[in-house]
Amino acid sequence: MSEQKIDGFELKPGFKGMASDTGSDQTMFKGVHWGKAMMWIFLLSDTFVFSCFLISYMKGRGSTIVDWPNTSEVFSLHVGGVPVPLLLIAIMTFVLITSSGTMALAVKYGYEKNRKMCGWLILATAVGGLTFVGMQVFEWSKLIHEGVRPWGNPFGAAQFGSFFFMITGFHGFHVSIGVIFLFIYTYKVFAGHYDSKKRGWFTKMKGDYVEIEILGLYWHFVDLVWVFIFAFFYLW
Amino acid sequence: MSDEYDNNKSYQAQSSEVLDGSAGSINPDMDYVRPAEIPEQDLYHAHSFIEKWIFCQDAKVIGVQYFLTAVFTGIVGLILSWLMRLQLGFPELAGFMTAEHYYQFVTMHGMIMVVYFLTALFLGGFGNYLIPLMVGARDMVFPYVNMLSFWMFFVAVAVLMASFFVPGGPTGAGWTLYPPQTILEGTPGSGMGILLMLISLSLFVIGFTMGGLNYMITILQARTRGMTLMRMPLTVWGIFTATVLAMLAFPALLVSAIMMTLDKVLQTSFFMPTILKAGEVLEYGGGSPILFQHLFWFFGHPEVYIVALPAFGIVSDLISVHARKNIFGYRMMVWAIVGIGGLSFFVWAHHMYVSGMNPWFGFFFATTTLIIAVPTAMKVYNWILTLWRGNIRINTVMLWCLGFIVTFVNGGITGIFLGNVSVDVPLSDTYFVIAHFHMVMGIAPLMVIMGAVYHWFPLVAGKMLHEGLGKWHFWITFLGAYSIYFPMHYLGFIGVPRRYFEMYDSPYMTSAVGMNEFISIAAFIVGAAQFILVFNIIKTLKTGKKAEQNPWKANSLEWYTSTVPPEHGNFGERLPVVHRWPYDFSVPGAKDDFIPQTTAPSEVANTEVEKT
């Protein structure tokens, strides 16, 4: 990155720049919005939550007394009588990753103050997220229909259902929270709250387009976590 | 001191540290501090009683709210410890108490004191009150989230207290909540009790995360002009590092609480192995109880330092102010805090030596545990060197600090015993362990809290606490605490196991009985002595001497607010500009024996002040 200036403070690249920022007064991350820094640190903490879940899953799967179910069979969809492994998951993953793309574009248009485009793209992201949650509901009900329960299942180790419902449920909860906020932000963008610096309903703080980037960080994180869950549950 | 300031140098690329003046000559540029790079904070001022005192967004009020709620839970914990000591010392007087009650008291005492009392008091109480004031901010960066944080904590406490009143009572599984017995029938409170405990812990973690984000961002991104990281009071460093630890350690607690809740409610078997109960195989099977222990202690050990690091930071400031000397080795102190924090994530399995593990694993964790003693010992030496040839004022605050150092060294040394696998195994689950951790993370941080209360009360309430009562409070607590925990080391060596309701006709009976009675009497007295402080506070608020501004002649920013007690927004019209660290005490050549952080270099150009 080329050298930048923030309020007369010259930002040097590389390690030297980091050391000089750290040694300076007022802020450590120069020019970074408070909310953005907060979201990064929250995500770091949340990473630890999901890491604990996934490490527990690895430990649990490694030490069961009964064999783990054959995941490519359990997770397959029957299309015209032929089982296609990973079909639903592939679509789900595709939808979620695509929504990350629309989110990134929404942030871009937000900073360009292109209210309409920004609003439509956030709405598209919200719809993508909602589709994902919907497909997860379908997957859950299919598995429940086949007899998979948190406390046991007909295919093998009981922990399969326990970990699957807990971890995908916890992730789905994150997605749902994100979807709710995406819809709220859609309204706020279309209503022009970020242009008029209207104060928030609860926090009474002035709105700004940086909020969309902050929500975007969360959304990308949720997608990234899904990639790990996908790898650990469906490909292992 | 020797480097000459080059007049032609451009300012931009420098941290303000380089720009300080050199001693002896007044230079027009020596007072330069970079202009503000963050806009003035947009504060929401309260409009009603409810907004001002209940759902308040001012970090200072939130700090006091945290403090009072934590003290309330602490008093509940204290009463539980009295009940336990009554049973251990005078079982004939405790006829109303069954073994189940005793286990419930042990559990609730532990959990309340560690999580809901000490953690909430240091981070929620002192953190909220002191961070914005000490770094020169108008408030926390997210006041609304900060308010939610307290109320989440309040609900967590309410849920915890509710568990005393549900059928079966609170959980009695020990504060470590080890499965499988925690959620199995036969353990007291294995129904609603444990469920409410897990819910309460989850709420606490969520609430703390909201607060922790505030503490971290305020310290990293909202310092005032001239306040570099290496000019922050050590209090802020301690609270900051503890918050980082909490943000990374509490996730493990949250995850283990969620998994155990599912084991309890949905009959999953995350932590539950195949269990034979009265000849019948239970529904559970295939889970790993050791997994819970790893998750719990991955939280549990950093938790010890979440409590200890703020205490280290605060005591450093108190000692420096009341010994009228700069803290010895400030940078070393900072790096020791950070180093202890980092190491604390690699020692957790030393709580699990008796759970069974690969000997090399035990070797690894013993090594890392003993390595932590190095930065910790550095800190102790630095406190002593700060006192050495200082102008020590033996007032109540200093007494608590000295009490802390002694107690902490004592508890730290027994920690070295327990860190070694071969010494730990015979001492595990004896009173030696009780003595160790009460000394090191119970009494020692509590001494700091007491010192901090006497130190900062004039700021919070604008009145001076009574010194005489404070000294009585200190001496009874200090001598009493030693009377309680010193004999416990001996009880541990003769093998008296902890968490036992009664000893029956075991061989321990003969030599332990008298000692148990003695310990119990001491515990009653020490517990009662804490109400001297409550009385002192009430009396002071009513009739106490009005405090002047900055009564201790300290340097840090919290004493230089526009009003005492500080109002919403802290510093009036203009934020302070910082030129130095907060430890310029007794500088040769200076007019007073202290130089506030806001004093410009040109005002003290003829003194031997060091560049910070």
Segment B231-280, tens digit of pLDDT: 999 999 999 999 999 999 999 999 999 999 999 999 999 999 999 988 88
The pLDDT value recorded for residue B612 is: 80
Q: What is the mean pLDDT of residues B530-555?
A: 93
Alpha helices in chain A (DSSP H): 14-22, 34-62, 71-74, 87-111, 115-145, 158-190, 210-229
CB contact under 8 A, A162 and B262: yes
SS3 at position B277: strand
Q: Please check the confidence at residue A232 and state whether its pLDDT lies above 70.
A: yes
Confidence of residue A6 (pLDDT cuts 50, 70, 90): low
Instruction: Identify residue B530 by its one-letter amino acid code.
Output: Q
What pLDDT score was predicted for residue B216? Answer: 96
Residue with tokens 């009585």: B472
pLDDT at residue B332 in the model: 96
pLDDT computed for residue B15 by the predictor: 42
Query: Which of the four pLDDT bands, split at 50, 70 and 90, describes residue B359?
Result: confident
Query: Is B504's pLDDT higher than 90?
Result: no
Indicate the SS3 state at residue A61: helix
Mean per-residue pLDDT of chain B: 91
Q: To the nearest whole angstrom, how far is the Cα of A1 from the nearest Cα of chain B?
A: 17
Any idea what DSSP says for residue B536?
Answer: H
Positions of CATH 1.20.120.80 in chain A: 35-235
Mean pLDDT of B534-557: 93
- Identify which of B140, B134, B120 has the alpha carbon closest to the alpha carbon of residue B67: B120
Cα gap A123→A188, rounded to integer Å:
11
Of A20, A49, A60, the CB nearest to B13: A20
d(CA B417, CA B436): 10
- A-contacting residues of B 243-272, CB under 8 Å? 247-248, 250-252, 254-256, 258-259, 262, 266-270
Chain B residues in contact with A51 (beta carbon < 8 A): 251
Chain A residues touching B209 at Cβ < 8 A:
42, 45
Using DSSP's 3-state secondary structure scheme, residue A28 falls into: coil
Dist CA B372 CA B381 (whole Å): 15
Handedness of CA B169, B173, B175, B176 (dihedral sign): negative
| Reported pTM | 0.93
Q: Do A25 and B16 touch (CB under 8 A)?
A: yes
pLDDT of A7 strictly over 50: yes
Partners of residue B585 on adjacent β-strands? B594
First to last CA, chain A: 39
* pLDDT tens string B367-383: 999 999 999 999 999 99
Architecture per CATH, domain A35-235, reads as Up-down Bundle (1.20)
- How many Å lie between the alpha carbon of B242 and the closest alpha carbon of chain A? 14
Chain A environment of B13 (Cβ under 8 Å): 10, 12, 20
Closest to A45 (Cβ–Cβ): which among B11, B251, B285?
B251
Residue B386 has pLDDT above 70, yes or no: yes
Instruction: Please indicate whether, in this complex, the C-beta atoms of B285 and A24 are within 8 angstroms of each other.
Output: no
Mean pLDDT of B531-554: 93
Scan residues 186-225 of B and list those with Cβ closer than 8 Å to A.
Answer: 209, 212-213, 216-217, 220-225
User: Looking at chain B from residue 160 to 179, which residues have their Cβ under 8 Å from any Cβ of chain A?
Assistant: none
A81/chain B closest Cα distance in angstroms: 33
Closest residue of A to B226, CA-based?
A25
**Is A170–B248 a contact, with Cβ atoms under 8 angstroms apart?**
no
Q: Do A34 and B141 touch (CB under 8 A)?
A: yes
Residue A214: CB partners within 8 Å, gap ≥ 6?
A: A33, A35, A36, A38, A39
Based on the number of CB atoms within 10 Å of its own CB, is B556 exposed (0-12), middle (13-18) or buried (19 or more)? buried
Please check whether residue A50 is in contact with residue A228, taking contact to mean a CB–CB distance below 8 angstroms: yes
Chain centroid to CA B314: 10
Q: Is the pLDDT of residue B27 over 80?
A: no
CA-wise closest residue to B600 among B27, B37, B51, B216: B27
pLDDT digits (tens, 9 = 90+) for A136-173: 999 999 999 999 999 989 999 999 999 999 999 999 99
d(Cα B593, Cα B595) in Å, to the nearest integer? Answer: 7
Nearest residue of B to residue A5, measured between CA atoms: B12
Per-residue DSSP letter, B592 = S
Residue A76 pLDDT grade (very low, low, confident, very high; cuts 50, 70, 90): confident
Q: How far is B413 from chain A (nearest CA, A)?
A: 32
| pLDDT per residue as tens digits for the range B76-119 | 999 999 999 999 999 889 889 999 999 999 999 999 999 999 99
Cα separation, A55 vs B7, in Å, equals 58
Residue A38: its chain B contacts at CB < 8 A?
141-142, 213, 217
Of the partner residues A7, A42, A159, the one whose CB lies closest to the CB of residue B37: A7
> What pLDDT sits at residue B1?
34
Closest-CA distance, B295 to chain A, in angstroms, reads: 8
Residues of B in Cβ contact (< 8 Å) with A29: 220-221
Rounded CA gap, B161 and A63, in Å? 37
Q: In angstroms, what separates the C-alpha of A41 from chain B's closest C-alpha?
A: 7
Residue B508 pLDDT class (50, 70, 90 cuts) = low
Q: Is the pLDDT of residue A128 over 60?
A: yes
**CA-CA distance, B225 to B576, in Å (whole number)?**
7
Across the range A16-35, mean pLDDT stands at: 89
Amino acid at B134: M
Q: Which helix (H) or strand (E) holds A5?
A: strand A4-6
- Give the residue on B whose Cα is nearest the Cα of A6: B37
Residue A65 has what pLDDT? 85
- Model confidence at B10, pLDDT cuts 50, 70, 90, reads very low
Angstroms from B208 CA to nearest CA on chain A:
12
